[in-house]
Amino acid sequence: MAKLDETLTMLKDLTDAKGIPGNEKEAREVMKKYIESYADEISTDGLGSLIAKKVGNEDGPKIMVAGHLDEVGFMVTQIDNKGFIRFQTVGGWWSQVMLAQRVTIVTKKGDITGVIGSKPPHVLSPEARKKPYEIKDMFIDIGASSKEEAMEWGVLPGDMVVPYFEFTVMNNEKMLLAKAWDNRIGCAIAIDVLKNLKNEEHPNIVYGVGNVQEEVGLRGAKTAAMKIQPDIGFGVDVGIAGDTPGITEKEALSKMGEGPQIILYDASMVSHKGLRDLVVGVAEELNIPYQFDAIPGGGTDAGSIHLTANGVPSLAITIATRYIHSHAAMLHRDDYENTVKLITEVIKRLDRETVDKITFE
């Protein structure tokens, strides 16, 4: 593996952390470690979202930059008499990316390695082999011989199960492969935006946030935004990369390495026109590459933020990522760095007058 610089080390630590919805503590501690030196104050909401506050002008508008701490994973629901684990998906999974994949069960006695198993195709009928194997028929094999042995090792119903994958810098060192890019990359963006603003004047108060439970319904964004009461909200997340074989431009336009995606529309939100126009204007002014996208079937934390209190002008800015909601996703480092740069520069321009103006666009 290539030698890791400071940024890659942070990205590795964030993606290596284990944290499915409702179990974000480890990821929250990693984010806290990296962001606290750039913040004036660290707090959490009642569900465990991390909120790092950085004051520029204490009378200025409140700007929320939110990634989410949780990743898709599984939860132990039963242990059968032979020691096999039954599980519930937590977040969205496609059955075809799950079989024979290695997982880690996090127990009170430590981590247990398992593999997702099924009946072998050799014993299935020809008709059954043609169909995707159903998640409800899968199990996790930890090598236990009985329920008692599995429980002796510490496994209990309710334990989280996390995909296992090693952070990898590809031969093209801009290409980064890891689990949980969705959405530790958003947490990294929030960290680096605060880092960029550490010695800069900005006419507002900035909140770098790691929300909980996004993958099960944008839940932590609701509670964190209620606590912050922001004037402007940015949801930073992964988006769809349309540059792999078989995807048409009609299905997904964006390409890795060609800049942050500015989301026009998704299932959780119609993006705020005034804020969108401002962000595009800053990108044009500074020659920061960007792409537009619309995702009819997904949503980001901006979908919850924009409905807080009296309404918050919000925008989702995402990074084109391949193979999300699987064990290994891939993104481009330039897109990450350009997203950080763009959001930093937008924040520098978000004074009270500008916020008041765009609210009514």
At 214 the pLDDT is: 96
Distance of CA 64 to the CA centre of its chain: 16
Distance of CA 169 to the CA centre of its chain: 19
What is the C-alpha to C-alpha distance for residues 283 and 317, in angstroms, rounded to an integer?
12
Distance of CA 45 to the CA centre of its chain: 18
At 249 the pLDDT is: 84
pLDDT-based confidence at residue 1 (cuts at 50, 70, 90): low
At 120 the pLDDT is: 85
Structure tokens at 274: 């005034």
Q: C-alpha distances in angstroms, 191 versus 77, 184, 344? A: 35, 10, 11
Q: 183 near 234, Cβ under 8 Å? A: no
74-163: CATH class: mainly beta
Residue from 134, 149, 173, 214 carrying the catalytic annotation = 214
At 269 the pLDDT is: 95
Distance of CA 67 to the CA centre of its chain: 6
- Domain 6-71+179-359 homologous superfamily, CATH: Zn peptidases (3.40.630.10)
Query: Among this protein's residues, is 214 annotated catalytic?
Result: yes
Partners of residue 54 on adjacent β-strands = 206
Considering only CA atoms, which of 54, 20, 24 is closest in space to residue 38? Answer: 54
Q: What is the pLDDT of residues 94-110, one digit of tens each?
A: 999 999 999 999 999 99
Q: C-alpha distances in angstroms, 210 versus 92, 171, 213, 352, 356? A: 20, 30, 10, 25, 26
Q: Is the pLDDT of residue 295 over 90?
A: no
Q: Is the pLDDT of residue 282 over 90?
A: yes
Q: Is the pLDDT of residue 153 over 80?
A: yes
Mean pLDDT on 275-288:
98
pLDDT-based confidence at residue 58 (cuts at 50, 70, 90): very high
Residues 6+ apart with CB under 8 A from 249: 242
Q: Is the pLDDT of residue 4 over 70?
A: yes
Q: Is the pLDDT of residue 320 over 90?
A: yes
Structure letter (DSSP) for residue 218:
S
At 235 the pLDDT is: 98
Averaged pLDDT of the chain: 96
Share of the chain above pLDDT 70, in %: 99
Q: What is the pLDDT of residues 195-216, one digit of tens each?
A: 999 999 999 999 999 999 999 9
pLDDT-based confidence at residue 34 (cuts at 50, 70, 90): very high
Q: What is the pLDDT of residues 324-361, one digit of tens each?
A: 999 999 999 999 999 999 999 999 999 999 999 998 76
Considering only CA atoms, which of 281, 279, 276 is closest in space to residue 265? Answer: 276
Is 120 or 222 the better-scoring residue by pLDDT? 222
CATH 2.40.30.40 range(s) for the chain read: 74-163
Considering only CA atoms, which of 235, 286, 287, 243 is closest in space to residue 262? Answer: 235
Largest CA distance in the chain: 69
Considering only CA atoms, which of 313, 16, 2 is closest in space to residue 187? Answer: 16
CATH 3.40.630.10 range(s) for the chain read: 6-71+179-359
Residues 6+ apart with CB under 8 A from 33: 13
